[in-house]
Amino acid sequence: MKTAIVSGTFDPITVGHLDVIVRASKLFDRVVVAVSSNSEKKGLFSDEARVAAAKASVEGIENCSVALCEGLLAEFCKRYENPVIVRGARTGSDFDYERSMFVINKELASVDTVIFPCESGMDHISSTYVRELIKYGKDISNVVPLGAKAVIEDYFSNEKH
C-alpha cells in the first residue's frame, strides 16, 4: 500500500491544496494530510483550527485522513507504510524549493517526493492571499473549500483565539 503524505501548514487550506489532495487520492491507496505545526511562524489559525478545516475539506474522500505533524516531516513519514510526499507547486520558485526539500527528506527518511503542478487558474491562490482576504473582510468562497469556510467563519466568531 502506497501512502501519499500531503503536507503543509494549511494556514488556511485553499482550493489549490484540496486539488492536490484529490489528485493524490486518485493515484495512491491512502492519503494523509499532514498539517504541520510550525513553531517558527506565527500563523493566523491555531493547530486545532487548521486540522479542523482540513478535516472538513476532505470529508467524503474515503481514502483520506488528517493528522497534525509536529516535528520533522521526514520523521512523520516513517509512521506510514510506503510513504511518498506529495506537494503542489504554483511557480518555478515553488519547484526549486520543493526540490531542495526532496533532497532533505530523501536523506533523512529515504522518502520520495511527487510534485504536482497547479491546475490552470489556481496559480494566484495561496494561503497568504487568503489571509489577506480574511484580514480585509473579503469573500473567500472561491479560494477555500466549502467545509473550511465554515470552520474559518466559526473560528472568527469565537473570541477565544
pLDDT digits (tens, 9 = 90+) for 105-115: 999 999 999 99
Provide the pLDDT confidence category of residue 43 given band limits of 50, 70 and 90. Answer: confident
Q: Residue range 22-45: average pLDDT?
A: 90
Q: pLDDT tens digits, residue range 61-102?
A: 999 999 999 999 999 999 998 999 999 999 999 999 999 999
Amino acid residing at 24: A
Per-residue model confidence (pLDDT) at position 160? 53
Q: Closest Cα to residue 88, out of 15, 3, 20? A: 20
What is the percent of the chain with per-residue pLDDT over 90, rounded to a whole number?
Answer: 86
Question: Residue 33 forms beta bridges with which residues?
Answer: 6, 66
Q: Is the pLDDT of residue 60 over 60?
A: yes
Per-residue model confidence (pLDDT) at position 42? 77
Q: Is the pLDDT of residue 138 over 60?
A: yes
Q: Is the pLDDT of residue 159 over 60?
A: no
Question: Residue 5 forms beta bridges with which residues?
Answer: 32, 85
Provide the pLDDT confidence category of residue 156 given band limits of 50, 70 and 90. Answer: confident
Mean pLDDT taken over the chain: 93
Residue tagged 497568504 (cell numbers): 128
Per-residue model confidence (pLDDT) at position 37? 87
Is there a contact between 69 and 7 (Cβ–Cβ < 8 Å)?
yes
Per-residue model confidence (pLDDT) at position 158? 76
Give the C-alpha separation, 99 to 32, whole Å. 21
* Residue 161 grid coordinates: 483565539
Q: Is the pLDDT of residue 39 over 70?
A: no
Per-residue model confidence (pLDDT) at position 157? 83
